[in-house]
Amino acid sequence: MALQLMTEKWPGEVAVVTIGATKEEKGTRSHTLKLGGEKSLPCLFREGALPHKTGIAFEIWDTAPLDWPDELTRGYKDVLSDPVRWAEKCVKDYKAQSLCLRLQGAHQDYGNKSPEEEAQLVKKLLKSVGVPLVILGCGDDAKDNLVLPACSEAAKGERCLIGPAAQDNYKTIVASVLADGHNIIAESPIDLNIAKQLNVLISDMGLALERIIMDPTIGALGYGLEYAYSIMERARLAALSGDKTLACPFICFVGQEAWRAKEAKAGTTEQGIIWEALTATALIQAGADLLVMRHPKAIEKVNKYIDNLYGR
């Protein structure tokens, strides 16, 4: 008698969030990026639909990063001071399918750029490249409440992903996203209850859960990865069990966390790349839907991993 593989069916599913709007959708993006839609736990293709591959967004800054190690900046050294050329290099040379613009220059310690300056940059970027865009603030809540609404308006109709919106700083950003037709990043500090509460607060303002992507605040390999993994796993189990308030895709800022590790900064030439790639592949198995990464070689390795995984 042949043994049969035991499978489990789930009553819930993860919402599908679309980033980018094409010409047919009154935007200017060359394509869209669909995330989520899972009806099974990660990588268990026989148990339920996993319709959309994990996406990867190349991280670019509006100002030259001062703390990136040499190995990380080597591939971008000729464009670091020009975010538009940086974006074009990612798309043309490295075949980026989406970009994540971090508006670090708006922070008072990194140049204190005005909301008008950042909005103009977003407009230039959207004209220069056609891929879907993620727009991140500088990390200062007061400044982000000025900068992100200006950038949201500048990108109106392009269905970007904007954030982060945290428990103490979500109302202004949600209102802008609602007005301009974007999606939002809901950030919570590795806490399932806070993540759920924030999603409820955002949806109470009128933004559908299908327009929310959760940032669970991950850690890198050796720096809290296992704890972040368990939080993501618990959230996905709740979503598949029918909890719609947690049935949102995940975004994970892999590059930011991996290149903070001393092993990535002080190791061999390849060690930082491996650190970022291994962090990314582990998070894919935890259920990550969108990875924000930095090193082109690490992204190349992870793309091959994703293609092999879904090609089975």
> Residue 284: which CATH number?
3.20.20.20
Residue 17 has pLDDT above 90, yes or no: yes
- Is there a cis peptide before residue 42, judged by omega within 30 degrees of 0? no
Q: Which two tokens stand for residue 102?
A: 């971090």
DSSP letter (8 states) at residue 30: S
Alpha-carbon torsion angle 265, 135, 310, 211, nearest 10? 140
Length in residues, the chain? 312
Closest to 14 in 3D by CA, of 183, 237, 174, 310: 237
Would you say residue 183 lies in a domain?
Answer: yes
Percent of the chain with pLDDT over 70: 99
Residue 156 has pLDDT above 70, yes or no: yes
Tens of pLDDT, residues 130-141: 999 999 999 999
Residue 6 pLDDT: 78
Would you say residue 135 lies in a domain?
Answer: yes
**CA distance linking residue 81 with residue 307, whole number of Å:** 33
What φ, ψ does residue 11 adopt, rounded to 5°? -75, -25
Residue 298 pLDDT: 98
More confident residue, 9 or 117: 117
Q: Kindly tell me the burial class for residue 77, based on how many C-beta atoms sit within 10 Å of its own C-beta (0-12, 13-18, 19 or more).
A: exposed
Would you say residue 187 lies in a domain?
Answer: yes
DSSP letter (8 states) at residue 132: -
Would you say residue 40 lies in a domain?
Answer: no
SS3 81: coil
Q: Which two tokens stand for residue 287?
A: 């259920």
Closest to 103 in 3D by CA, of 55, 70, 152, 68: 152
What's at 75, amino acid-wise?
Answer: G
**CA distance linking residue 158 with residue 126, whole number of Å:** 9
Q: What angle do CA 88, 132, 79 make, to 5 degrees?
A: 20
Tens of pLDDT, residues 232-290: 999 999 999 999 999 999 999 999 999 999 999 886 779 999 999 999 999 999 999 99
Residue 48 pLDDT: 92
Residue 287 pLDDT: 97
What is the number of domains present in the chain? 1
What's at 78, amino acid-wise?
Answer: D
Average of per-residue pLDDT across 116-140? 98
DSSP letter (8 states) at residue 53: P
* DSSP strands (E only) in 129-269: 133-136, 161-165, 183-187, 212-215, 251-252
Q: Which of 10-19, 43-52, 92-101 has the lowest mean pLDDT?
A: 43-52
Q: How confident is the model at residue 56 (pLDDT cuts 50, 70, 90)?
A: very high
Q: Which two tokens stand for residue 57?
A: 């967004």
Closest to 163 in 3D by CA, of 204, 127, 199: 199
Average of per-residue pLDDT across 153-181? 97
Q: Which two tokens stand for residue 232?
A: 């993501």
Residue 5 pLDDT: 73
Q: Which two tokens stand for residue 172?
A: 């202004």
Would you say residue 9 lies in a domain?
Answer: no
Average of per-residue pLDDT across 47-55? 95
Please provide the average confidence, as pLDDT, over all residues in the chain. Answer: 96
Residue 7 pLDDT: 84
Q: How many CB atoms lie within 10 A of CB 171?
A: 13
Would you say residue 26 lies in a domain?
Answer: no
DSSP letter (8 states) at residue 246: G
Tens of pLDDT, residues 281-298: 999 999 999 999 999 999
Percent of residues in the chain assigned helix, strand, coil, to nearest 5: 45, 15, 40
Average of per-residue pLDDT across 96-106? 98
Residue 1 has pLDDT above 80, yes or no: no
Domain that holds residue 209: 53-311
Residue 214 pLDDT: 98
Residue 2 has pLDDT above 90, yes or no: no
